[in-house]
């Protein structure tokens, strides 16, 4: 266990330690990462236009929970991470800022994965609205030169066609608890550039953190007690529990349930003892 200041110790409750699971349908949401280019000249690099909101320096993590039934049974999955290619036109009112060239056709490559030993990241292709029912491809932890890709533009790659694309029903999952860093890259698969080459050069790699299983990120002592900061997937209700001994218990609930929202949240122990105390998150439900 990690020792932290004020003689407090924490432990995060992972999938195999969840005791109480109540069937409940969770509210789902899409998280959008937009794809465009740094400019509108041939060979200008592609760009995740809001990528700074998702890189590790931003503090963003995609919380994922173990699915116990449904299409992703046995895998950790969070909200849908939807890559959206910006339109090159704006209903005749002008050019969209950050867009790629007409005639480009954008795809996302999974280049690299770091994470727990033996883990891997899976991609599930849907039909545009409904989630896919089988893994399309997977990238194991330790891979640094992956070339698996999925197309995000909805055009056919013909000259002057709009690269816009916003396709639902796609999912990312992982198969072991822990923290993953997934490297994404944009590529232009069109043949409309000079000599049949793409119009745009590839983007730089965008690393995105996937958090599989509930994780206590830090503790803060405040005037109200000990704040336990964590990140949880939407629809999952979290209760803070404490024990003087993590092996023998008992584990005592300290708070009411708080539903996750993918952002950093906190629950507070309003009466912490002078000695050591262990904390964990007790999940009251898992989404299907």
Task: Assess whether 69 and 148 both reside in one domain.
Answer: yes
Q: Between these two residues, 24 and 134, which has the higher pLDDT value? A: 134
* Domain finish residue from 183, 212, 241: 212
* Domain finish residue from 185, 212, 239: 212
* Domain finish residue from 182, 212, 242: 212
Question: How many CB atoms are located within 10 Å of the residue 12 CB?
Answer: 16
| Residue among 234, 250, 174, 78 at smallest CA distance from 280 | 250
Task: Assess whether 107 and 220 both reside in one domain.
Answer: no
Task: Assess whether 93 and 224 both reside in one domain.
Answer: no
Give the total number of structural domains in the chain: 2
Q: What is the pLDDT of residues 135-155, one digit of tens each?
A: 999 999 999 999 999 999 999
Task: Assess whether 68 and 133 both reside in one domain.
Answer: yes
Task: Assess whether 205 and 244 both reside in one domain.
Answer: no
| Residue-range definition of the domain harbouring residue 271 | 2-23+214-286
Residue 16 has pLDDT above 50, yes or no: no
Residue 95 has pLDDT above 60, yes or no: no
What is the reported pLDDT for 15?
A: 30
What is the reported pLDDT for 3?
A: 30
Q: Between these two residues, 287 and 267, which has the higher pLDDT value? A: 267
Q: What is the pLDDT of residues 166-195, one digit of tens each?
A: 999 999 999 999 899 999 999 999 999 999
DSSP state of 118: T
Cβ proximity of 237 and 37 under 8 Å: no
Cis peptide leading into 250, omega within 30 of 0? Answer: yes
Rounded Cα distance, 60 and 108, in Å? 19
pTM: 0.79
Task: Assess whether 103 and 179 both reside in one domain.
Answer: yes
Residue-averaged pLDDT of the chain: 85
Rounded Cα distance, 56 and 209, in Å? 7
92's CB contacts (< 8 A; 6+ apart) are: none
What is the reported pLDDT for 283?
A: 87
Task: Assess whether 280 and 268 both reside in one domain.
Answer: yes
What is the reported pLDDT for 53?
A: 94
278 three-state secondary structure:
strand
Could you identify the residue written with the tokens 């533009």? 153
| Residue among 127, 205, 230, 213 at smallest CA distance from 173 | 213
Task: Assess whether 60 and 175 both reside in one domain.
Answer: yes
Task: Assess whether 52 and 182 both reside in one domain.
Answer: yes
What is the reported pLDDT for 287?
A: 64
262 three-state secondary structure:
coil
Task: Assess whether 128 and 238 both reside in one domain.
Answer: no
Torsion angles phi and psi, residue 16, rounded to 5: -70, -10
Q: Given CA atoms 252, 265, 76, 132 in this order, what sign does their dihedral have? A: positive
Tokens read off for 211: 């958090």
Residue 91 has pLDDT above 60, yes or no: no
DSSP state of 21: -
Q: What is the pLDDT of residues 119-128, one digit of tens each?
A: 999 999 988 7
What is the reported pLDDT for 29?
A: 56
Task: Assess whether 159 and 246 both reside in one domain.
Answer: no
Task: Assess whether 65 and 169 both reside in one domain.
Answer: yes
Q: Between these two residues, 247 and 82, which has the higher pLDDT value? A: 82
Residue 93 has pLDDT above 70, yes or no: no
Cβ proximity of 242 and 228 under 8 Å: no
Residue 8 has pLDDT above 90, yes or no: no
Q: What is the pLDDT of residues 33-90, one digit of tens each?
A: 999 999 999 999 999 999 999 999 888 889 898 998 888 999 999 888 999 999 987 6
Cβ proximity of 183 and 205 under 8 Å: yes
């Amino acid at each position: 266990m990690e020792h932290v200041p004020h003689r407090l110790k924490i432990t995060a409750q992972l999938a195999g330690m969840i005791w109480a699971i109540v069937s409940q349908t969770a509210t789902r949401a899409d998280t959008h990462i937009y794809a465009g280019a740094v400019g509108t000249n041939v060979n200008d690099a592609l760009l995740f236009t809001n990528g700074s909101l998702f890189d590790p320096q931003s503090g963003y993590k995609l919380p994922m929970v173990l699915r116990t039934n449904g299409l992703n049974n046995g895998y950790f999955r969070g909200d849908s991470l939807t890559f959206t290619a910006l339109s090159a036109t704006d209903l005749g009112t002008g050019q969209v800022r950050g867009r790629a060239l007409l005639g480009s056709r954008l795809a996302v490559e999974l280049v690299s994965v770091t994470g727990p030993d033996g883990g891997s990241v899976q991609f599930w292709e849907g039909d545009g609205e409904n989630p896919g029912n089988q893994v399309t491809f997977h990238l194991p932890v330790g891979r640094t030169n992956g070339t698996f890709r999925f197309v995000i533009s909805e055009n056919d790659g013909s000259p002057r066609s709009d690269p816009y694309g916003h396709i639902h029903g796609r999912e990312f999952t992982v198969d072991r608890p822990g923290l993953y860093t997934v490297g994404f890259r944009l590529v232009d698969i069109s043949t409309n550039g000079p000599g049949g080459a793409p119009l745009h050069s590839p983007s730089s790699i965008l690393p995105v953190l996937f958090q599989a299983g509930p994780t206590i990120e830090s503790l803060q002592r405040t005037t109200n007690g000990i704040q336990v900061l964590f990140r949880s997937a939407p629809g999952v209700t979290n209760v803070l529990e404490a024990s003087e001994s993590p092996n023998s218990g008992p584990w005592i609930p300290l708070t009411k349930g708080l539903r996750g929202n993918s952002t950093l949240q906190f629950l507070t122990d309003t009466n912490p003892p002078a000695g050591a105390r262990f904390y964990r998150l007790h999940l009251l439900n898992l989404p299907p």
